[in-house]
Amino acid sequence: MQYDVLFKRPKIIVILFTIITLLVATQALNVTITSDIEVYMPSEQPSVKLLNEIRKEWPVDSLLIYIEADNITSISSLKEIDGMESALNPVEGIDDGVMYTTSIASLLKATNKDMPFFGKDEIPNNQQYANLLLHFIPDEIKYKVISQDEKNGVIILTTMRDVDVDELLDEKVYPIVQSAKKVNASPTGMLTLYKETIDWIMERIYGITLLSLLLILLVLFAFHKSLKTVMIVILPVLYSIALTFGSMGIMPVKFAPTVIAVLPLLGALGVAYALHLVNYFMELSDRSPEEAAKKMFQTVGRAVFLSAITTIVGFASLLTSDMPPIENMGLAFLIGVLYCFISTMILIPCFLLIFKPKKSVELKWDSLSNLTRYRKPLFLVILMFSLISVASIPRVSTRTSVWEMMPEQMESSVVMNEYSQKFNAGQSGVIFVNSTPEGILEPKLLEKLDEMEKIINVGVPNASIYSIVDVIKRFNFNRLPKTKEDVKNIVDGMPENYKTMMLNEDYSKTLLYVEMPIMSVADTKRSVTTINQIIEQTNAEIGEYGTVSRLAGLAALTVELNEILMDQQFRFMFISLILVYLCLLLVFRSFRYATFTIIPIVLLLIWEPSMLVLLNIPLNVSTITVSSIAIGVGIDFAVHITERVREEIKQKSGLQAIKIALSRKTPSLAEATIALIGGGLPIFLMEYKMISQFILLVLFMLAFACISAVLCLASFYSARNGRLLERWK
């Protein structure tokens, strides 16, 4: 027999497996996690393609330094901000990843430099002169870098897309911010938020992992009252987690923060697989350990194999996602379950033979066999709950905001919210205008862009826009020139800062900058839709002068991402169900058993909308995967009950078979579910709303998967007092 080596040399097998695990686990620290909303988007989405097209001409990625002072425009504050900018970007170019910086200080210096006769590239020492220079900066731009009350400001670091954010923040931004004396400076902005979110997770993950492990151990000990048995059950779980995260570190891919759900899920699956084997081994205590282990492999080993295969197949649906982090998370779950199965099947027999645990507590709940008496009431309860859940589908919210993907209590997140409120900004976007060489200088095109700006600024709530038009008007007595030559003279003479931000070298392209505050997804969608409608009207009017792109940037990405969520959810769910059902058909070789086994999972998916509504959890980039997780892990419960029924029906009546299956299998299922809940609860200590919502929904779904499997199969298999089962022999 292929497993004989496990029974003959268990200690050698454990040593070899441990060495392999340690070698793989050393790569666990290389796991890459990202919360960047852009990586969730399929590369062929219009907003992503447009943003990448714009990046060919302009860098549009940035981080912010939020400034607080008694008066941002005072000479002392301006000089300190200028010193910070010089330190952040001492040399122009892309070598350090920083393209340019923008602040009230740099705009004022540029304005001073271009003043006739006595202009200098410096912050003046005279406050009155500085105040005069401030009047030459267009208000539309000035109040994007200082607040109306002049107590707050920002330094905007515009970077290349591939900049090493960790290095930039650790070696430049953090030290410079900490050295500020005249002002209070705090790093924030999207790049900072993405980086610090990962730091937030990694700082807490080890303590949370240890606490999860401790709670799982306590749950197991409460059931078995034997430390030896508990260690036998838990050790394969630790091996599988080490192998999984080590393999993830080897893979050159980025994972979503929700990938940490691998910990409690593998804990639950590993505990479940081990418990089924160990508990059956305990039932055979009258045999020798070797005989009991072989019998365990021939019976329960088959059920564990089947449940592992169906779980892997269930997670495989995530590999069809257009969103790379979701696809990668599916891959992580898939290899995690595979390692869980391998670790369990190799190590459990070895540990049982090495440690030879004594039978401690007989896990058998005979009272559950009474469920077979209440077939009709159970069916009515299931039907009623299903109808209520279906009725709640319209109330399910599809909402993914980038701000909900960040820990709310993280300092940079708190600062970002304050910045949003003070500046009515935070969701930055750009509009790309393409024309012929020097076509941007055409007065008629500028007039149409000016009209578009006014309509957006007045007609779109919570949106503001500024462009080269505002700068030209500021340097021409608040009017647009009538001739192209006059426009060119003004543009050639304006400070380089404005041209770098808004124009390319041959004046054939320009960027318009749009700002929106942090707001609900519904409000963001309304604003983005309205802006795009205004752009369409402008395109119809400018004719041969050029084309104006749709809005690109964070707000547009957020809207598009939310539009594809529901489609992705149904795709995952449908593919998971089909694959799992086909797998059940192949393994059981019975249409009836496969159908009855999948019914609890179908009901679980019907119940999901009511759970989303009841728990007030939206369908977002994290919870979108829960249906596949519920199918992949939840099918485990139904498979073990069905497999035990199939084993018992060979020698007993149908009613006796389901009663034995319920009394013998339910304790292991309940124990695994409680262990899952225990392992998942510490994740709430991470204080990360998106992950907390994800874990809460997973825990509810899998708890209901256990309940659904027990109640549904008790009701169905006991139909006609078990005679239905007897026909299937």
More confident residue, 477 or 105: 105
Q: How far apart are CA 293 and CA 298, in angstroms?
A: 9
Q: How far apart are CA 348 and CA 221, in angstroms?
A: 17
CATH 1.20.1640.10 range(s) for the chain read 4-30+195-404+559-726
Q: pLDDT tens digits, residue range 370-380? A: 555 666 777 78
Structure-derived torsion over alpha carbons of residues 532, 537, 539, 545, reported in degrees to the nearest 10: -140
Q: pLDDT tens digits, residue range 349-359? A: 888 888 877 65
- For residue 152, what pLDDT is reported? 96
pTM of the model: 0.81
- The one-letter amino acid code at 332 reads A
Q: Decide if 348 contacts 274 (C-beta within 8 A).
A: yes
**DSSP readout, 98-112?**
EEEEE-HHHHHHHHH
Q: How far apart are CA 440 and CA 454, in angstroms?
A: 18
Q: How confident is the model at residue 573 (pLDDT cuts 50, 70, 90)?
A: confident
CA atoms within 13 A on the CB side of 233: 35
Q: Which residue has the tokens 């839709």?
A: 529
Average pLDDT, the chain: 85
Token pair in block for residue 301: 């080993």
Q: pLDDT tens digits, residue range 491-527? A: 998 888 899 999 999 999 999 999 999 888 888 999 9
Q: pLDDT tens digits, residue range 618-659? A: 877 677 777 877 887 788 888 888 888 887 777 777 677 777
Q: How far apart are CA 42 and CA 325, in angstroms?
A: 10
Instruction: Quote the distance between the C-alpha of residue 43 and its chain's center.
Output: 17
Longest dimension (CA), the chain: 105
* b/e sequence 401-435, b meaning 16+ C-beta within 10 Å: bbbbbbbeebebbebbbebbebbbbbbbbbbbbbb
More confident residue, 291 or 213: 213
Q: How confident is the model at residue 187 (pLDDT cuts 50, 70, 90)?
A: very high
- For residue 1, what pLDDT is reported? 46
Say if residue 572's pLDDT is above 60.
yes
Instruction: Quote the distance between the C-alpha of residue 377 and its chain's center.
Output: 40
Q: How far apart are CA 128 and CA 137, in angstroms?
A: 15
Give the three-class secondary structure for 66. Answer: strand
- For residue 688, what pLDDT is reported? 86
- For residue 695, what pLDDT is reported? 86
CATH assignment of 4-30+195-404+559-726?
Answer: 1.20.1640.10
- For residue 711, what pLDDT is reported? 80
For the residues 608-623, what does the mean pLDDT come to?
Answer: 82
Q: How confident is the model at residue 382 (pLDDT cuts 50, 70, 90)?
A: confident
Instruction: Quote the distance between the C-alpha of residue 111 and its chain's center.
Output: 44
